[in-house]
Chains A and B, each alone.
Chain A
Amino acid sequence: EDQVTQSPEALRLQEGESSSLNCSYTVSGLRGLFWYRQDPGKGPEFLFTLYSAGEEKEKERLKATLTKKESFLHITAPKPEDSATYLCAVQGGAQKLVFGQGTRLTINP
């Protein structure tokens, strides 16, 4: 069974303090690993898809990386507007996305 574990559950940072969020996964035949951002009261918003180990993608202050067992979402010099819940999901042979519980990120000004 495909599984995703995200850590930490919650993270508080000061504005400008860089850090990383972790997504560990087990999947039968990885077809893709997805990162989403979710703001309170809204639906998840797509950030990145990674398809193979070694792949990296960047968007503004965010960079996602992938190994055979985990993915990291690195956030560099975050701003308060980066506060949100970040969700990781994997797609395996069954073709459906399995989501982790998310990391709730708070950036204090």
Chain B
Amino acid sequence: DAGVIQSPRHEVTEMGQEVTLRCKPISGHDYLFWYRQTMMRGLELLIYFNNNVPIDDSGMPEDRFSAKMPNASFSTLKIQPSEPRDSAVYFCASGRDTNTEAFFGQGTRLTVV
């Protein structure tokens, strides 16, 4: 298996633009997680899905952030409009359950200027 695949690896955008991050989880994993990592706040859970249904989005910082999972093999995290404070590394992870190991992708490094 190729593991969790995220795209793009790097994204530089201007403030106010829409940004879409993409994730393909490992086949057979029922759970998908979106995390954000910064130096100040570390690794934070934004939202997670079970069987394509959003379960907990309490970590989504603002209404500018939205996530979808239209099918078992694809998810998106969208930021509209983007702001400089959104600059971070965004990770997608998938797992078979919430209390077993999650497998992380390589991350998308987002820079908003």
Contacts and interface: CB of A to CB of B under 8 A. Distances in A.
Interface string B73-101: 00000000000000000010100001111
Contacts of B101: 34, 46, 49
Interface in B43-59: 43-45, 48, 56, 59
B111 interface: no
Given A32-B99, A87-B43, A95 B56 contact: yes
Interface in B94-110: 98-107
Interface residues of B, number: 21
B104 A91 contact: no
Nearest to B104: A43
Given A45-B104, A91-B98, A102 B42 contact: yes
Interface of A: 31-32, 34, 36, 41-46, 49, 87, 89, 91, 94-102
Report the 4 A-B pairs with minimum CB-CB distance, sorted nearest first: A43-B104, A46-B101, A99-B43, A32-B99
A36 B91 CA distance: 14
Contacts of A94: 56
A46 B42 contact: no
Nearest to A51: B99
Nearest to A32: B99
A46 B102 contact: yes
